[in-house]
A and B are shown apart, each in its own frame.
Chain A
Amino acid sequence: MFTRRDTLAIGVGAAAASALPFAAFAATVDEAIAAFTGGAAVAEGGVTITAPEIAENGNTVPVTIEAPGAAEITLLATGNPAAEVAVFKFGPGAGNAMVATRIRLGRTQDIMAIAKMADGSFTSARVEVKVTIGGCGG
């Protein structure tokens, strides 16, 4: 949660303010991916993320993920203090492998969805969501 003073600091020196935490988060993202895939290769494609290009507020960002044929999907916010957002396991009663929910994003970042397919392979998609720090109490 940003205070107004933090907000100002970021606005003034965005590069400086974001460089440090990003380095710290990278390991977390890699760990989260490895925890889900067990280190297996992750392809790209076959997963569709629908999210606003610019979120009106980072505290409630609507996202939809579709991955036809997926058995499981993990959703990661690569720029959050903790990257893991949710894991969805589809059971035998599931219809199309789609989910929609609302998530918290601490700043502009890529969100990433990795699908575990029925054959055990992994595929993924990433999309950038810009999170604006508002002028009005944001």
Chain B
Amino acid sequence: MTDVRPRIRLPRSAAAGDSIVVKTLINHDMESGQRRNSAGEIIPRQIVNRFTCEYAGVMVIDMTLHGAISANPYIEFEAVVPASGDFVFTWYDDNGEVYTSTESFTVA
């Protein structure tokens, strides 16, 4: 697999206390463990099995992913932003690797 690069999109601005739409995308094959190779052997599962988002230290969403999530997982949800702070996004790979991305957000 090539380098894993998370992408995040936040709105340009929001007022304190708004619920904002957060979009995330990460490149990952999400090998489901259901497929077979040309020799007929099961290709071992390797997926991102968990995704979390925290804002200013508060949990926004904690997602468990299974093999039925498409490759290059796209995850969209809403977060409340009471004040300016940092978003911390974390993806957990079956192989033990953890990918994180931090984005500062400023409320008007």
A interface residues, Cβ below 8 angstroms from B: 1, 59-62, 64, 77, 80-82, 84-96, 98-105
Which of B2-10, B63-71, B93-101 faces chain A? B63-71
B interface residues, Cβ below 8 angstroms from A: 19-20, 32, 34-35, 54-56, 58-71, 73-80
Closest to B32 in A: A104
A62 to B76: give the CA distance in the assembly, Å: 11
CB–CB A92/B59 < 8 A = yes
Closest to B18 in A: A95
| Known contacts A93-B79, A99-B77, A102-B73; A85/B61 CB under 8 A | no
Chain A residues with Cβ under 8 A from B70's Cβ?
Answer: 59-61, 101-104
CB–CB B59/A91 < 8 A = yes
CB–CB A93/B59 < 8 A = yes
CB–CB B76/A100 < 8 A = yes
CB–CB B66/A86 < 8 A = yes
CB–CB B63/A96 < 8 A = no
Chain B residues with Cβ under 8 A from A100's Cβ?
Answer: 74-77
| Known contacts A84-B66, A86-B69, A102-B70; A95/B78 CB under 8 A | yes
CB–CB B77/A84 < 8 A = no
Chain A residues with Cβ under 8 A from B55's Cβ?
Answer: 93
CB–CB A101/B79 < 8 A = no
Chain A residues with Cβ under 8 A from B32's Cβ?
Answer: 104
CB–CB B61/A81 < 8 A = no
Chain B residues with Cβ under 8 A from A80's Cβ?
Answer: 68
The residue among B58, B61, B66, B71 with the most chain A CB atoms within 10 A of its own CB is B66
A101 to B26: give the CA distance in the assembly, Å: 12
CB–CB B66/A99 < 8 A = no
Minimum C-beta distance from A54 to chain B (A): 17
| Known contacts A94-B60, A95-B19; A85/B79 CB under 8 A | no
Chain B residues with Cβ under 8 A from A99's Cβ?
Answer: 61, 63, 75-77
CB–CB B73/A101 < 8 A = yes
